[in-house]
Structure 1
Amino acid sequence: MNQFNLFYQKIATNRLSHWLNTLPAQLTDWHDNNLHGEYKHWQKTLDALPSVAGEAKTNLTDKVEVGELGDLNQGEFKRLENLMKKFKPWRKGPYHIHGLHIDTEWRSDFKWDRLAEHISDLSGRYVLDIGCGSGYHLWRMRGCDAKFVVGIDPTQLFLMQFNAIKHFINDDQVHLLPLGVEQLPELKAFDTVFAMGVLYHRRSPIDFLYQLKAQLVKGGELVLETLIVDGDENTVLVPGERYAKMRNVWFLPSEKAMCAWLERCGFTNVRVVNTDITALDEQRKTQWIDTESLQDFLDPEDNTKTIEGYPAPKRAIFIANA
Structure 2
Amino acid sequence: MTEREDILHWFDDVLAFMQEGKLAPWAKVLPRQLELVLQEKEHGDQQRWLDALQQLPAIAQINADLNRHDIALNSDLITAAQQEQLQQGLEGLMPWRKGPFQFFGTLIDTEWRSDWKWDRVAPHLAPLDGRVVLDVGCGSGYHIWRMLGAGAYRVIGIDPSRLFLMQFQAYKRYLQATGHSARADLLPLKMEDVPGNLKAFDTVFSMGVLYHRKSPIDHLQELKDALRPGGELVLETLVIDGALGEVLMPEDRYAMMRNVWFIPSTETLLLWCRRVGFKNARVVDLNQTSLDEQRTTDWMHFNSLADFLDPQDRNKTAEGYPAPLRAVIIAEA
Alignment correspondent of 1:63: 69
Tell me the number of residue pairs that the alignment of Structure 1 and Structure 2 aligns: 321
- Amino acid across the alignment from 2:163: L
Q: Write out aligned runs for 1:223-262 (5 A).
A: 223-262=234-273
- Once the two structures are TM-superposed, the CA of residue 37 in structure 1 deviates from its matched residue by 2.5
Secondary structure in 2 matching 1:145: coil
- Amino acid across the alignment from 2:234: V
Q: What is the TM-score when the length of structure 2 is the normalising length?
A: 0.94
Is 1:31 aligned to 2:24, yes or no? no
Q: Do 1:69 and 1:99's aligned partners in 2 also have CA atoms closer than 8 Å?
A: no
Alignment correspondent of 2:183: 173
- Amino acid across the alignment from 1:147: Y
Higher helix share: 2
2:100 to 88, 94, 98: 94
- Amino acid across the alignment from 1:17: A
Alignment correspondent of 1:49: 56
List gaps (5 residues or longer) in structure 1: none
2:313 to 292, 302, 306: 302
Cα deviation 1:18-64 (Å, max 9, x = unaligned): 3111111110111122432222221122122111113x221112334
Could you list the structure 1 runs, at least 4 aligned residues long, displaced by more than 6 angstroms after superposition.
none
Secondary structure in 2 matching 1:305: strand
- Amino acid across the alignment from 2:184: V
Alignment correspondent of 2:84: 78
2:121 to 115, 118, 121: 115
Cα distance in 2 between the residues matched to 1:69 and 1:221 = 37
Cα distance in 2 between the residues matched to 1:136 and 1:14 = 27
Alignment correspondent of 1:281: 292
CA RMSD of superposed structures (Å): 1.3
Cα deviation 1:260-311 (Å, max 9, x = unaligned): 0000111001100000010111101100011011111111111010011000
Alignment correspondent of 2:152: 146
List gaps (5 residues or longer) in structure 2: 1-7
- Once the two structures are TM-superposed, the CA of residue 65 in structure 1 deviates from its matched residue by 2.8
Cα distance in 2 between the residues matched to 1:276 and 1:90 = 23
- Amino acid across the alignment from 1:278: T
Does the C-alpha gap of structure 1 residues 34 and 122 become closer, same or farther in structure 2, counting only changes over 3 Å? farther
Secondary structure in 2 matching 1:116: helix
Q: What is the TM-score when the length of structure 1 is the normalising length?
A: 0.97
